[in-house]
Amino acid sequence: MRSAVTILVFCVAALLALGLVMLYSSGMANEKVGAQYLVMQATWCIIGLAACALAAWLDYRCLKRMAVPLLVMAAILLIFVMVLPHRISPEINGARRWIVLGPVRFQPSEFAKIALILTLAWYGERYQRHMSTLRRGILIPGLFIGLILALIFVEPDRGATLFLAATSGGLLLIAGAQWKHFIPPMLTGIAAFGFSLWHDPMRMKRILSWLNVEETRQEVGHQAYHAMLALGAGGWTGMGLGNSRQKLGFIPFHHTDFILPVIGEELGLVATLFVVMCFIAIIVCGTWIALKSSDVFGLLLGSGITLMIGMQAMINIGVVTSTLPNKGLPLPFISYGGSNLLTMLASVGLLLSIARRANLAESILSSEDADDRRENPFRGPDRLAVAQVGGIS
């Protein structure tokens, strides 16, 4: 467990450091921006690290009582995005996804991600013996999953809706839901999503552009095409820090969703593969921590967080390499954006809390085993004691 925690912390710290360096490099391309990206991201990074430390210090099991209230709060914030005045919830690039309070811009859907994962983990533990049934495994959790997805869908944010639906579905499967029960709602969801895309010209153009990037490189496919040029131009070792040409107005949002091509152009394939390997290591360590957790809630919470981080990274990397259609999901720990960074670092803190409690349970169990062996050398260890460690029910 100690190795998993060490690798997890190292990879997150490395990605954070790389993100700050690349955001400073991105700001160099615009004299009006300068070090603004770096300063804002560093501020959010400090807040996020404080949240990470607090989450790691807390006993994650206390969040069971807060799961449903947090989900209700997330739903209320998502509703506020639609009903608040435009000066507080402005429309940006055709969508209302943010609440703006002075210099602070907050995206409620980021908070909804972790609130939904917490609620599903709590629900999965409470009804673990009934998750194989259609009612407990799909219908009831589908109600609050559907509510959150619907509120995000109408912002509109189609990509985040699909991402959160896939994360929630994976977590339900881990909790014990049956595959056969997923088929009807999954087919219904795909049909409804396809219908909405068919009547959404802008996003339909993105899909068609993804299928024909070369033909649409002067129009909708401009961003994806220049992202591939940036990755190709970097070669193995890159053109040097600050020397990216594609960030000079060719790649829109090069400091947020499309920051990986800038990394590839300036630092080369070596740095790009390092980023990929860091995310793979985070997924492996998160999975290990979840499997070694001392209770079902920790298993599901750790699995959900690992799914969230891993899937978001996979989608972002898939988009910038044109493996997937264009969708605005930030690269965890690297892309500019305070809401996402705060959510991701708080989630890592919860993983550390799960690992800390698992270590405590293992140390107490080892101590009890040693006492048992001294009292009776022929008696095996009582592994049932794990369930009572630290008040675990």
Q: In this predicted structure, what is the pLDDT of residue 342?
A: 94
Three-state SS for 95?
strand
Q: In this predicted structure, what is the pLDDT of residue 383?
A: 41
Q: Estimate to the nearest angstrom the gap between the alpha carbon of 144 and the chain centroid.
A: 19
Q: In this predicted structure, what is the pLDDT of residue 36?
A: 79
DSSP per residue, 118-174: HHHHHHHHHTGGGTTSHIIIIIHHHHHHHHHHHHHHTTT-HHHHHHHHHHHHHHHHH
List, as own/partner pairs, every contact residues 258-261 make where C-beta atoms lie below 8 angstroms and the sequence separation is at least 24, other chains included. Answer: 258/223, 258/227, 258/320, 259/19, 259/22, 259/23, 259/26, 259/331, 259/334, 259/335, 259/336, 260/227, 260/231, 260/316, 260/317, 260/320, 260/331, 260/334, 261/226, 261/227, 261/228, 261/230, 261/231, 261/320
Q: With contact defined as beta carbons under 8 Å apart, do 352 and 340 qualify?
A: no
**CA atoms of 256 and 330, how far apart (whole Å):** 6
Three-state SS for 40?
helix
Q: In this predicted structure, what is the pLDDT of residue 391?
A: 43
**DSSP character for 257?**
T
Q: In this predicted structure, what is the pLDDT of residue 371?
A: 54
Tens digits of pLDDT across the chain (393 residues): 788 999 999 999 999 999 999 888 877 766 666 677 888 889 999 999 999 999 999 999 999 999 999 999 999 999 988 888 777 888 777 778 888 887 778 888 999 999 999 999 999 999 988 888 989 989 999 999 999 999 998 888 888 888 999 999 999 999 998 888 888 888 888 888 778 777 777 777 777 777 777 777 777 777 778 888 888 888 888 888 888 877 777 777 778 888 898 899 999 999 999 999 999 999 999 999 999 988 899 999 999 999 999 999 999 999 888 888 877 789 999 998 888 999 999 999 999 999 988 876 666 655 555 555 555 554 444 443 444 444 443
Q: With contact defined as beta carbons under 8 Å apart, do 386 and 365 qualify?
A: yes
Q: In this predicted structure, what is the pLDDT of residue 350?
A: 95
**CA atoms of 214 and 130, how far apart (whole Å):** 51
